[in-house]
Amino acid sequence: MQIEINQTAILLIQGDITRQSTNAIVNAANSSLMGGGGVDGAIHQAGGPDILKECELIVKHRGKLPAGKAVATNAGNLNAKYVIHTVGPVWINGGEGEPDLLASAYRESLILAERLEIKSISFPSISTGAYRYPLDQAAKIAINTVAEFAREEAQSLKEIVFVLFNEKAYEAYKNALSNVRV
């Protein structure tokens, strides 16, 4: 599924983000930037050790990455040019700032992509695995944040892809995307 807002395409595909050829792929990292399970583990495994080396340098210089922030590194052996590491919120009960932090993780990643002057970026479904954010709520925030960015701020970005790992995630994002005003 795909829509276009202000000359930026927002696409949904079902698949593995490590196989994408967009200029950047986004990693749903944790604050330590030291890798982990889920999509984080898959990106480091497929990309090789150079990504982790750069993550280590970043943490050494500026400390752990708080939830809602994003940093870019090289993409090692991946097809992308950059990996943008962002940290989504851990779901507690929805009343601990989780929606704002999740929106910020997407927004900060997009701002960084614009600063890098790239044309295309792929996102996973941030926070909906180990961090337990309810899928339908996360999909709505993800899609609405990206759509608003496309409408108001996108310049170099022409393609924003959500790479959903399974059918259930794809359906949730499809539902959210079909409610967006074009």
Residue 86 DSSP class: E
What are residue 162's DSSP bridge partners?
12, 123
2-5/120-123 β-pairing: unpaired
Q: How far is the CB of 16 from ligand ADP (least distance, A)?
A: 4
Q: How far is the CB of 177 from ligand ADP (least distance, A)?
A: 16
Residue with tokens 């990455």: 65
Q: How far is the CB of 29 from ligand ADP (least distance, A)?
A: 8
Q: Which is nearer to ligand ADP, 5 or 162 (CB)?
A: 162
Choice from 40, 101, 106, 141 touching ligand ADP (CB under 6 A): 40
Q: CA-CA distance, 129 to 139, in Å (whole number)?
A: 13
124 lies in the site for ligand ADP, by CB under 6 A: yes
38 lies in the site for ligand ADP, by CB under 6 A: yes
Sheet holding 8-14, edge to edge: 2-5, 8-14, 159-164, 120-123, 24-29, 82-87, 70-74
40 belongs to the catalytic site: yes
Q: Which amino acid is at 41?
A: G
18 lies in the site for ligand ADP, by CB under 6 A: yes
Instruction: List interacting residues with ligand ADP (CB under 6 A).
Output: 16-18, 28, 38-40, 42, 88, 124-131, 163, 165, 169
